[in-house]
Amino acid sequence: MSEPASISTGIAKRYATAVYDLAKETKAVKAIETDIAALQEAMAESGDFNAMIHSPIYTRDQQGAAVTALAKKMKLSGVMSNTLALMAQKRRLFVLPQLVQTLRDLIAEDKGEVTADVTSAKALTKTQSDKLAKTLTASMGKTVTIHATVDESLIGGLVVKVGSKMIDTSIRSKLNSLQNVMKEVG
C-alpha cells in the first residue's frame, strides 16, 4: 500500500472509531447509517462537494462553513455534523471517503453482516438483488448487504467483491481472457 493511502486510512480509522463509539453511547447508530448513505450519495453525485473536500485552495474557515451548511441541509446527525466540522478545522476532510467506508464496515461487523460490492452491466432488479443476497448469505454464513453499481463496459455478467474475495463473471473479463489465450497461441 502506498504511504499516503495508508496515512489516509489510518486517519479515517481513528475518526471512524470515535464516531462509532459516540454513536453507540448515544444510541445513534441508525442515524449514522443514514448519514453515511447521504454522504456517499453526495460524493458520488457532486463534483463540487468532492472538490471542496479534496482541494487545498479552500481555507479551514471556508471548508468549515461549507460543511456546516451542508450538514444542516442534508440533516446529518449531531455526531456526524460535529465530526465533519472538526475534520474541516483540522484539514482532514480529504479522508472523508475512507471514513465513510470504514464506518460502514464497523457497523456491518458489529451487526454480523458483510457488504458485497456488486458491479453489473445493467441495474439489478429487486428480485435479482434479493436472490444474489440470499445466495451470498448461504455461502458466506453471514448476512450479506448488496452495494450495487452499474458499469456498462462489463457488457454483461457481474463482478462481486466480498471482503478479499472477488468473483468476475463479466463478459468483458471473459473476452480479455480469450484474447490472452489467442495471443499465446499465435
Note whether 79 and 130 are same-domain residues: no
Nearest to 41 by CA among 14, 70, 79, 77: 70
Q: How far apart are CA 74 and CA 144, in angstroms?
A: 27
Note whether 36 and 70 are same-domain residues: yes
Looking up residue 175, the CATH number of its domain turns out to be 3.40.30
Q: Provide the sign of the torsion angle of the four alpha carbons 93, 98, 99, 101, taken in this order.
A: positive
Note whether 89 and 118 are same-domain residues: no
Q: Count Cβ atoms within 10 A of the Cβ of residue 76 and give its class: 0-12 exposed, 13-18 middle, 19 or more buried.
A: buried
pLDDT of residue 154: 93
Question: The cell 467506508 sits on which residue?
Answer: 101
Note whether 117 and 154 are same-domain residues: yes
Domain edge (last residue) among 93, 108, 123? 108
pLDDT of residue 1: 44
- Interior angle at CA 16, CA 67 and CA 63, nearest 5: 15
Note whether 85 and 120 are same-domain residues: no
Q: How far apart are CA 146 and CA 130, in angstroms?
A: 9
Q: How far apart are CA 15 and CA 77, in angstroms?
A: 15
Helix, strand or coil, per DSSP, at residue 25: helix
Note whether 102 and 13 are same-domain residues: yes
For 169, how many CA atoms within 13 A lie in the half-sphere containing its CB? 6
pLDDT of residue 115: 85
User: Average pLDDT per run of 10 along the chain, which is 186 residues long?
Assistant: 68 93 93 94 90 91 93 94 94 93 89 90 93 92 89 93 90 92 84
Note whether 91 and 119 are same-domain residues: no
Note whether 62 and 142 are same-domain residues: no
Note whether 41 and 80 are same-domain residues: yes
**In the 8-state DSSP scheme, what is residue 81?**
H
Note whether 164 and 76 are same-domain residues: no
Q: How far apart are CA 135 and CA 158, in angstroms?
A: 14
Note whether 9 and 91 are same-domain residues: yes
**Pairing relationship of beta strands 113-120 and 158-162 according to DSSP bridges:** antiparallel
Note whether 15 and 102 are same-domain residues: yes
Q: Which residues contact 157 (CB under 8 A, 6 or more apart)?
A: 120, 121, 168, 169, 170, 171, 172, 173, 174
pLDDT of residue 186: 64
Structural domain span for residue 47: 3-108
Looking up residue 29, the CATH number of its domain turns out to be 1.10.520.20
Question: How many domains does the chain contain in total?
Answer: 2
Domain edge (last residue) among 108, 133, 160? 108
| Single-letter amino acid, residue 17 | T
